[in-house]
Amino acid sequence: MRLFKTPRFFRLIFPNKTWGFSRLENTVYLTFDDGPDPEVTPWILDQLKEKEILATFFCVGANVQLHPEIYQRIINDGHSIGNHSMNHENGLRTSNQVYYSSIEQASKLIDSNLFRPPYGRMSLSQTKRLKRNYKIIMWSWLSYDFDEKTSIETILNKAKQQIKGGDILVLHDNPKSFNRIKILLPQLIDCVEKKQFEFKRITV
């Protein structure tokens, strides 16, 4: 079973993380994880520019190092950026020392106090430590753009049913998702706009 919508009790169990914003908002927040990628990210940026939409990109430090010009374009286009670690480590499978070092390395390339843990997984001790310097951004709606077992039709039906004001939506600018996101992103944007929500980037 795929959980597109993050259960509300997660906000109670993990109050030190941002899972979404007020439902009273007439706003939805598009976020993209794992880039920059030389093929996927420019395509997404072109789509967003055409629609005059601002989003938030949680970047992997190693990819920023490889593609600094694309990272700079994200910033130049007016989008927000966030730290997604240096090498996309799973916090629950990584020692604290290695995990903190990865994030610190990435911070030298990514000037942001927004952080999203890769895979959405980190320990309570890691959360407590990182909360000192970062706003930990999670999500309230997951697109499953990376999962070929989940049809685009299913994703869009769930979007129509579930996306509300204040939601943080997660997509990915990585090669694994590219074939699907080319179909999904324009229709997802259309779906949100038909609900008369605005898109905004995440800022602190």
For residue 198, CA distances in Å to 6, 87, 154 come to: 21, 32, 23
**The total number of residues written for the chain in this structure:** 204
Instruction: Record the tokens describing residue 85, joined without a space.
Output: 């670690």
Instruction: Record the tokens describing residue 104, joined without a space.
Output: 């610190």
* 3-state SS, residue 199: strand
> Tokens 């898109």 correspond to what residue?
199
Active-site annotation holds for 145: no
Q: Distance between alpha carbon 31 and the CA centroid of its chain, in Å?
A: 4
Active-site annotation holds for 33: yes
Closest C-alpha to 30, from 158, 150, 140, 122: 140
* 3-state SS, residue 78: coil
Indicate which residue of 79, 88, 172, 173 is catalytic. 172
State the Cα–Cα distance between residues 164 and 182, nearest whole angstrom.
Answer: 23
Indicate which residue of 33, 34, 145, 167 is catalytic. 33
Residue 154 burial (CB count, 10 A): 14
Helix, strand, coil tally for the chain in percent (to 5): 45, 15, 40
Catalytic residues: 33, 172
